[in-house]
Amino acid sequence: MGERIPEKNTGFKKWWNMMRPHTLTASFVPVTLGTALALPSGKLNVLLFIAMLVASMLIQIATNLFNEYFDFKRGLDTEESVGIGGSIVRDGVRPKTILNLALSLCFAAMLIGVYICLESSWWIAAVGTVCILTGYLYSGGPYPIAYTPFGELVSGLFMGVFIIWISFFIQTETLTLNCILISIPIGILVGGINMANNIRDLTGDKEKGRRTLPILLGRPKAINLLASLFAFSYLWIIGLMVFHVESAWVLIVFASLPKAIQATRLFHGRNKSIQLMPAMKATAQMQTLFGFLLSLGLVLDHFI
């Protein structure tokens, strides 16, 4: 049997699906964690937290839209493609509309960034500009990052590590070793979401000339690497507790371990994109649970 073609979206669902809402945890988990790390400083600005959260999500949605636009322009997306928003090839949205919306969201994020800078530091403007530019270059420009083996690294750094650092810095006006160390597993898991996506799309990406990391490694090794990244993230948390960087409350993240095991198992024995959608979903859920549980552990350590 052939792969099932996703149904066409209409009305509000068309615009909602365009944003790929299931991916947005990669934005608000790092912002939440970076803010939770700032609690011991006693400097918690709720409006700054909300502004950072909204700006980060706008940039990620814009990145998704850029991806939708440029993949269509390069002939990579078809009506049968799995895992895409499908706004152009299935829902009939004009490509120019997608591009203009992405640019508008970037502009809105920049306006919010001005407020953040006024409340913290203008250095944030430089960092934010680089983040927006990276979101564009991820799928745009002559050499898209998404078509190279560096997609996981870039997404982990910019959508994981750097967002945590910025979220912490705008609250505390400093950057600590604790913040840097605790950002590492989140960056790894955000990169893991990207890797799960590339494992799912391996066959189609290879046919279309992409050179993603899973294509270079091959599916079995890529799955093993993803499982290793999961394991490393949990071991890193144990290390933070053992070396007294954080308290034992951070071990609450192990409540997400069953989801990591589920995600790994769902990748084995499946090759078609539609079959791998549950594995992709479980990977994103695992990152969300891990990040929120880690944030909860920090909050509990502060108040108990």
Q: What is the DSSP string of 70-123?
A: HHHHTT---TT-SSS--TTTTT---HHHHHHHHHHHHHHHHHHHHHHHHHS-TH
Q: Tell me the mean pLDDT in the region 125-138.
A: 92
Tokens 């933070």 sit on residue: 240
Q: Which of 202-206, 213-217, 255-259, 290-294 has the lowest mean pLDDT?
A: 202-206
Q: What is the DSSP string of 110-166?
A: HHHHHHHHHHS-THHHHHHHHHHHHHHHTT-SSS-GGGSTTHHHHHHIIIIIHHHHH
CA dist 287 and 29 (Å) reads: 8
Task: Answer with the residue of higher pLDDT: 24 or 158.
Answer: 158
Task: Answer with the residue of higher pLDDT: 214 or 272.
Answer: 214
206 closest CA partner among 196, 193, 218, 221: 218
Contact in structure between 156 and 190 (CB atoms under 8 Å): yes
Tokens 């597993």 sit on residue: 185
pLDDT number for residue 301: 92
Q: Is 80 exceeded by the pLDDT of residue 110?
A: yes
CA dist 30 and 49 (Å) reads: 11
Instruction: Give the domains, in start order, of the chain with CATH numbers.
Output: 11-303 (1.10.600)
Task: Answer with the residue of higher pLDDT: 203 or 8.
Answer: 203
Q: Tell me the mean pLDDT in the region 165-183.
A: 95
Q: Tell me the mean pLDDT in the region 77-84.
A: 60
Q: Tell me the mean pLDDT in the region 71-97.
A: 74
Residue 209 gets the label, from left (phi > 0), alpha (psi -120 to 50) or beta, of left
Q: What is the DSSP string of 239-293?
A: HHHHTTSS-GGGGGGGGGHHHHHHHHHHHTT--SHHHHHHHHHHHHHHHHHHHHH
| Neighbour tally for 95: CB within 10 Å | 15
Indicate the pTM of the whole model.
0.91
Q: Is 70 exceeded by the pLDDT of residue 190?
A: yes
C-alpha 126: how far from chain center: 21
279 closest CA partner among 194, 197, 189: 197
pLDDT number for residue 107: 96
Contact in structure between 271 and 264 (CB atoms under 8 Å): no
Give residue-wise pLDDT tens across range 247-280: 999 999 999 999 999 999 999 888 888 888 999 9
Give residue-wise pLDDT tens across range 11-67: 667 777 777 777 777 788 999 999 999 999 888 899 999 999 999 999 999 998 998
Mean pLDDT of the chain: 89
Q: What is the chain's length?
A: 304
